[in-house]
A and B are shown apart, each in its own frame.
Chain A
């Protein structure tokens, strides 16, 4: 399978996946992988005589953290989109979104309800990837403030228009 790009936020991933599903509804598949990191071979006890012996928790005190990888793949177009997270808090939202995608819901055109919840949730969770999460709200604020100043300067109509556009 071709390896695709990892998208920075779940919102981006879901939007792009939605577009892909619209373009290729019959062949696009979504795979969710819940995986633990493979242990380095040095840490494993290689005692062939007692294979069932549990490994002593010697050096590794903290349990390994699993990863959840979402992958949308279209063989027809050879497009592959991926998103990766290790936060338990994201699981519920992601699966709800997958359900919407499976039902053919157009996430990109949904401007209220779940879609915005998905996007807002991404803002909340996306502290690790601040650029993607912070940008939309910053843009909205900029649009509003620009509208405000222009309105004060006498160009009321233009300012209002810009303000609306920026707000969404």
Chain B
């Protein structure tokens, strides 16, 4: 399957993926984190903390809808190729740095979520009109 990317490359691709999805306002991005276990079976109490495997995918949700694109419906291979899959491995000592960056990338890319500003404006408008909403 696909090879792990370097952190820089991963963040660049993730930014693109999130931005594209946000602009389309359609589809999903799945981010998974799990410990990367050693290939050889070890004792239950492993001495060193494991590396973390980070995966990002669009789950092929950015592919054209086969209902609206009937000419692509049967071309399963092409559909699969359009699926975005990213992965990277984070060493235990890199976790803090990585996650600081990860949080920033996601904050910047997930623009489809409700903004704080809009909410505050709404609350203010409500407060002006009638009762102040309890915080």
Contact = CB atoms under 8 A, between A and B. Distances in A.
Contacts of B104: 92
A102 B29 contact: no
Contacts, number: 129
Nearest to A64: B25
A73 to B, nearest CB: 9
B49 A66 contact: no
Contacts of A64: 25, 112
Contact of B113 (A91, A96, A104): A91
Contacts of A29: 32-34
A35 interface: yes
Contacts of B106: 34, 91, 95
A87 B21 contact: no
B114 interface: yes
A89 interface: yes
Given A31-B32, A87-B119, A102 B99 contact: yes
A48 interface: yes
Nearest to A88: B113
Contacts of A104: 49
Interface string A27-64: 11111111110110100111010010000000000011
B110 A95 contact: no
Contacts of B114: 65, 86-88
Given A34-B29, A99-B102, A102-B99, A48 B34 contact: no
Interface string B33-68: 111010000000000011010000000010011011
A66 B18 CA distance: 12
A153 interface: no
Contacts of A130: 134
A25 interface: yes
Contacts of A88: 107, 110-111, 113-116
B128 interface: no
12 contacts: A29-B33, A31-B30, A34-B31, A66-B110, A68-B113, A88-B113, A99-B98, A99-B99, A103-B96, A104-B49, A127-B134, A130-B134
Given A36-B24, A67-B113, A103-B49, 8 more contacts: A34-B106, A35-B27, A36-B26, A48-B68, A51-B64, A87-B114, A88-B113, A102-B90
